[in-house]
Structure 1
Amino acid sequence: MNRRTSCGTVGRVIELRELTKRYGRTTAVDSLTCTVRPGQVTGFLGPNGSGKSTTLRMILGLVEPTRGSATVDGRRFRDHHRGLRHVGALLDGGDVHGGRSARSHLAALAASNGIPRARVDHVLDEVGLAAVAHRRIGGFSLGMRQRLGIAGALLGDPPVLLFDEPINGLDPEGVHWVRGLFRGLAAQGRTVLVSSHLMTEMANTADQLVVLGKGRLLAAESVTDFAGRGARPTVVVRSADGARLAEALTSAGGSVGIEADGALAVTGLTVTRVSELAMDRRITLSELTTRTPSLEEAFMNLTTDSVEFLAGEPQ
């Protein structure tokens, strides 16, 4: 799909500078500074209560910052005339009038932003809701409401798109579709910021990550770099002579754990060094692989101290 944006150029930068929001004594977002660039999908991660939704609302002018700024293409969102042509957003797929049809809901948004009526049917078809465009939204499933919210974000053909937990309620086909949609939008040169708590989806979709913890910036880097932070690659090795192999690996400075299926999980030694130690002792190996750290492992390692509520701990 080759589209030009209504604004004439593709790709606008989101700039957050010392962005801060306090509610009384509670600081929801604390001096957040980062840049979200076009041409890539940026995942927005953080534990519950980390300030992600508040940040998105400040970008859209729905929440006034206590201090600092949030701009799109150098301007506050509220200063962009006909905002949906500049920034499209899905914050809450359920925040719609249940008595309206999908078509009338989008038609109202189009009229208020000077968007041609033809775009309504175009985006309904794009998100797979053309066949139910006449139905009342109150009868929609959660997944259908999410698709409608995405349609609303796409309506103005904007260069910047924000999505808050867009996967919620989607079936496997919907997840596959939305993953391709986000990548396609970024490939067109658009700026795509996606907030999610699903690490698997971020690993499959995002190029860059912005990670918050207790309102503060913890990381802003590529998915590859983030997955490698705070977690060492693990060498998985299996042998019929596991006890002797474990002794050799430990003596060489490795840390050895035994997995549920009996394989040895080794950190602190490279796969080449593990192989050399086994050869030196004439130990036959039936498996020798490297397991790289997952995005979820890196996320848990980095955000452990930023989790508001921990399961199993008294409150």
Structure 2
Amino acid sequence: MIEVIGLTKRYGGKTAVDDLSFTVRPGHVTGFLGPNGAGKTTTLRVILGLDAPTAGAVTVDGVPFRTHRRGLHHVGALLDAQQVHGGRSAQAHLAALARSNGIGRRRVGEVLAEVGLADAGHRRIGGFSLGMKQRLGIAAALLGDPPVLMFDEPINGMDPEGVRWVRHLFRSLAAQGRTVFLSSHLMTEMEHTADHLVVIGQGRLIAAEPLRAFADRGTRQRVTVRTPQPAVLAAALTAAGASVDTAPDHLAVRGLSAEQIGALAFANAVELHELATHTTSLEEAFMEITAGHADHLAGSR
């Protein structure tokens, strides 16, 4: 479990994270969302002890991460797949990490196979594509078989097969009872992968709740209506309190359900050719809810 309690991080006079509190629990994939510059990467770095907090506290399984003597047994993390020595082979890179954390060499081969790089283990990392580097970073995160896993934009550069593989991997890790914390700007992937969301803007908490609850909170249902009598129906809908936008071939209605619209049409003897409900996507809900937080502070990360 990850607990962030009143976290504040300043760089000089600029505040990147401002009194932020949330909990990431085991058994779920928790998505970490926010506009660019919202403070996501700063928060991840503080969790891992790479940056010290200005105020507040962050713990992993009840203690600061720095107190764990061999970190890879407790937390596996991928923050930047490009930050790796290009002259080393994938196998040598993982072997060095394994030795420094008291992990047997056999585990190197196991994680390379798990991420689909078994045949590339002896190749130099400098020749890897971005997608292969992402797989290697995930292998490094899995090396110590940790209960807590953190990933920052892990599917950048991956092909569709790789994206499907990552999605399945994260959900299977959570199903094993691990804590999986995932930052991504790709809402469609988050919608297919995450169970819970932590959403921040300008370094402050906007939401910490199940994904579906967040999407429903930002959802504004729209009903498309096609009728040969648009003016008559639009007047009846407006009188009933609906918001009606008139397009050349249909009405876009908000504020009333399809059932209510159908009943009004029947009561006013209006013929209907189509009545369809459209729900906003997670991306649309995210844009709506975070709209007031997009003008982030200069210097935040």
Post-superposition shift, 1:272? 1.2
Residues in 2 aligned to 1:254 and 1:21: alpha-carbon distance in whole angstroms: 45
Pick from 111, 132, 140 the counterpart of residue 123 of structure 1. 111
In the alignment, what sits opposite 1:234? 222
Instruction: Tell me the number of residue pairs that the alignment of Structure 1 and Structure 2 aligns.
Output: 296
Matches within 5 A, 1:33-72: 33-72=21-60
In the alignment, what sits opposite 2:285? 298
Q: Deviations over 1:181-216 (max 9, x none)?
A: 111111111000000111111111111000010000
RMSD in angstroms over aligned alpha carbons?
Answer: 1.4
Q: Which amino acid aligns with 1:29?
A: V
Local SS of the residue matching 1:229: helix
Matches within 5 A, 1:45-194: 45-194=33-182
In the alignment, what sits opposite 1:208? 196
Residues in 2 aligned to 1:250 and 1:222: alpha-carbon distance in whole angstroms: 34
Please identify runs of 4+ aligned residues in structure 1 that moved more than 4 A. Answer: none
Q: Deviations over 1:155-197 (max 9, x none)?
A: 1111000000011001111111101111111111100000011
8 Å contact kept, 1:183–1:205: yes
Post-superposition shift, 1:253? 1.2
In the alignment, what sits opposite 2:18? 30
In the alignment, what sits opposite 1:289? 276
Residues in 2 aligned to 1:230 and 1:102: alpha-carbon distance in whole angstroms: 43
Q: Which amino acid aligns with 2:208?
A: A
Unaligned runs of 5+ in 2: 297-301
Q: Which has the higher contact order (CA 8 A, sep 6+)?
A: 2
Q: Which 10-residue stretch deviates more, 234-243 or 118-127? A: 234-243
Q: Deviations over 1:85-116 (max 9, x none)?
A: 10000000000000001111111111110111
TM-score, normalised to structure 1's length? 0.91
Q: Which amino acid aligns with 2:17?
A: V
TM-score, normalised to structure 2's length? 0.95
Identity, % of aligned positions = 66
Post-superposition shift, 1:219? 0.5
Residues in 1 aligned to 2:184 and 2:153: alpha-carbon distance in whole angstroms: 5
Residue 18 in 1 paired to residue 10 in 2?
no
Q: Deviations over 1:34-57 (max 9, x none)?
A: 100000000000011110000000
Q: Deviations over 1:64-98 (max 9, x none)?
A: 00011110111111101210010000000000000
Residues in 2 aligned to 1:97 and 1:285: alpha-carbon distance in whole angstroms: 65
Q: Which 10-residue stretch deviates more, 227-236 or 60-69? A: 227-236
8 Å contact kept, 1:90–1:163: yes
Pick from 247, 251, 255 the counterpart of residue 268 of structure 1. 255
